[in-house]
Amino acid sequence: MSSGVRELSRRVLNRTLLERQLLARRVPRTPLEAIEHLVAMQAQMPNGPYVGLWARLENFRPDDLTSLLEGRDVVHATMLRRTQHLARGEDFGWLWPTVASIVRKALTDAYYAEQIEGIDLDELARVGRRLLAGKPLHRRELGRLLADRFPGRTPGRLAEAVELLEASVHPPPHCTWGRWGHRSGTPLALADEWLGHPLADAPQPETMVLRYLAAFGPAGVMDIQAWSGLTRLREVVEGLRPKLRSFRDEQGSELFDLPDAPLGEPDRPAPVRLLPAFDNAVLGHRDRTRVISEENRRRITPRASAGVPLFLLDGFVEGTWALTGDRLHIAPFRPLSDSETAAVQDEAAQLLRFVAPDNTEPTITLT
C-alpha cells in the first residue's frame, strides 16, 4: 500500500455517512429510490422504516411506503444479519441468494436445534413450500399444519425453520403503518410467487459490496461483514480492488470506496435527526465511532437488543427518544445548550406532526 494513501478523519467519515445515508438534508427522492439506494432498511420495529424514511425524504407520507408494500415493489423479509429488513423487490431477488447461507445457519442455534433434530431439512422445506404454494399463511397456521406432518415438535419453531430454509416474504398488512408499537401475527408467502419471478440462482457478493459502499462507504471489510452478517468477504473485496479506491482511518485501518463517490465536508453543519431503533446509519459498520462514541454506545448496549430510538446532534448520537401516545420524551446523554435544545425540540415536534397529524396538543419532554 502506498504511503500516499489519504487518511480520513472521524468527522469526514461522519459527514460522508450522513450524505450517503440521506441524513445531511431531506432529499427529494421517492421512497422506492431511497430504499434502493440504502440496499435494505432495517424493519424489526413495525413503524421503524416509516420514521427512517421521514427522517430522510422531503414530504414523505406513510401511504407512500404502504402502497409500495401492497404493490409488491418493496418486500419485508428476513435477510441481512438474519434480521427483518425492507428491500426493493428486484433487489431481494439477488440479495436473498447472497445472504441465504447466513440466514440458514441460524438453524444450528440452540433455539432451533432441539425442535428440528432428526428432521430431514430438505423434506421440511419441501413440505413448507407445498403448504405455502399459491397462498400466504400466518406463521401460526403454517406451524399447525407442519406439526401434523412432524408431530411432537413446536409448531412455531417449524414455521420459522421453513422461513429460514425457503425464500419467503411477509406480505401486508405486516409492517404497514399502524398503531405505534403494535405487532400482529406474521404472514408468510413464497418470495418467487409474491414477486412473480424467480430469484437469482447464485449469490452476488460483488453486487452487494458495491451497493453497500455506495450507501455506507468508505468502509473496511469488517464493516461490510458486520452489516451483511456474512464472513470471508476479504477475497471478494480484493477481487474488486481495481475498481475501488482506498483510504485509511485515524487508526490506520484500510477503507474502500467507489472511485467517484464524494466525501463529506468535515465542517458542514448537520441537522438534528430522530432515528428509529436499529437504523441503518447506526448499525452499518463494525466500527461505529463515525456516528456514535464508544462511551455513548456503552450507554445503550444493555437496552440495544430491544431497540433504542436515537437522535443525532451535529451528526453524532447524543441521546434517545421514546414515543408514548401523544408524548415524545427526549433523553440526552449530556446537558444541551439552549440552541441545541431548541433544535432537538423542533425536530421532535415535526416527528409528532408526522406520527399524529390530527393531534393539536402534542407533548415533548426533555430530561
Count the Cβ atoms, other than its own, within 10 Å of residue 202: 9
pLDDT the model gives residue 1: 43
Domains of the chain, by residue range, sit at 20-195, 273-366
CB 174 within 8 A of CB 76: yes
pLDDT the model gives residue 2: 47
pLDDT the model gives residue 293: 95
pLDDT the model gives residue 305: 47
Residue 344 and residue 211: Cα distance in Å, rounded? 32
Taking only the tens of pLDDT, the chain with its 367 residues reads: 445 799 999 999 999 999 999 999 999 999 999 999 999 999 988 799 999 999 999 999 999 999 999 999 999 999 999 999 999 999 999 999 999 999 999 998 888 888 899 999 999 999 999 999 999 999 999 999 999 999 999 999 999 999 999 999 999 988 777 655 555 679 999 999 999 999 999 999 999 999 999 999 999 999 999 999 999 999 999 999 999 999 999 999 999 999 999 999 999 999 999 999 999 999 999 999 999 999 999 888 765 544 799 999 999 999 999 998 778 999 999 999 999 999 999 999 999 999 887 776 668 898 8
Residue 329 and residue 308: Cα distance in Å, rounded? 13
CB 23 within 8 A of CB 59: no
